Amino acid sequence: MQNSFVNTDKKGTIILTHYRSGGTQLRHIIDLFLNFKNIPFINVGEIDVDINSSDFEERINEVFFSVTDYKIIQLNNPLVISFCYYKDIFSELKEEFHIVHLERDDASKCLLSLPLWEKFIQEGHYEKKEWTKDLMIEFHNKLLDRPLRYTQLYTGLHSEYHPNNGIAFANYIVMSFVNILAKNRNISNIHKINTFFYEEYEEYTKDFFVDHFIENDEIFLNRVKDTYKRKIPYISSDYLVYFDKEVNRVFENWGLK
């Protein structure tokens, strides 16, 4: 069986992506499709390695090349991607796996959504059954009064670089992020991997899933639609309003505003 995201003649599907790209939702949708088709699989999730280790190739080989059922792998760790890129492991992966490249076109939301989401959790809102308009307005106004700091920006790999200067730190984060995008795009180009954007399915549209999963069954499509239920309805779609002036100045300088 083969479609845009699954090829059962291969060992599995690898989603080559970056943090906050919509990759987790896509991985779960592939999971739903394989379940729907009664195809045995293992949802490996994200690949993490110990950054303090000087030898993690064994861990990478174990994840990719051990013999199991069809695997779904979310490859978004910058360290693992850089290692596989430099060691030319992607040439072998392309032979063994069905690989798709996923990117979030809105770079600003990509970098800002994680600390915003973490703050929402910290305030105790995420586990509530309902996010009322009043609750979202209260959360919105609280962040306008006390914006999130530049120190909460994160690209997916913790760094020891923590200057007291907010502009320097925000510039470092944005530089790291655009380098991650560039590397993923280069890998995609070299190995002729199809690219998709989160914005193509950020809002539920039946056509996207019918076209790419080649499946027009209402049971499957309703299960996919259920994955959209926990998207947080922030009052502002411009997440920069929730961050301090240093972040705003740097994002404007880089053209992310």
pLDDT band at 68; cut points 50, 70, 90:
confident
Angle between helices 89-96 and 57-65 (to 10 degrees): 10
Percentage, residues of the chain above pLDDT 70: 98
Is pLDDT at 247 greater than 70 in this prediction? Answer: yes
End-to-end CA distance of the chain: give it in Å, rounded.
42
Could you give the CA distance from residue 101 to residue 184 in angstroms, rounded to a whole number? 8
Closest CA to 120 of 145, 134, 139: 139
243 secondary structure, DSSP code: B
Is pLDDT at 56 greater than 90 in this prediction? Answer: no
Could you give the CA distance from residue 107 to residue 85 in angstroms, rounded to a whole number? 22
Q: Is the pTM of this model over 0.85?
A: yes
Closest CA to 99 of 199, 10, 230: 10
Predicted local distance difference test score (pLDDT) of residue 242: 98
Could you give the CA distance from residue 247 to residue 11 in angstroms, rounded to a whole number? 42
Which residues, in sequence order, are CB contacts of 184 under 8 Å at separation 6+? 16, 17, 18, 81, 101, 103
Could you give the CA distance from residue 146 to residue 143 in angstroms, rounded to a whole number? 5
Predicted local distance difference test score (pLDDT) of residue 59: 84
75 is written with which tokens? 């490859």
Is pLDDT at 159 greater than 70 in this prediction? Answer: no
Predicted local distance difference test score (pLDDT) of residue 58: 84
pLDDT band at 50; cut points 50, 70, 90:
confident
134 membership: H or E segment, kind and range: helix 133-145
- What is the identity of the amino acid at 85? Y
- What mean pLDDT, rounded, does the chain reach? 94
What is the average pLDDT across 81-96? 95
What is the average pLDDT across 91-101? 97
Among 59-63, 91-95, 104-108, name the one with the lowest average pLDDT: 59-63
Predicted local distance difference test score (pLDDT) of residue 51: 73
Closest CA to 82 of 44, 49, 42, 104: 49
Predicted local distance difference test score (pLDDT) of residue 80: 93
139 is written with which tokens? 């959360």
How would you classify the pairing of strands 98-103 and 12-16?
Answer: parallel
Is pLDDT at 55 greater than 90 in this prediction? Answer: no
Is pLDDT at 156 greater than 80 in this prediction? Answer: no
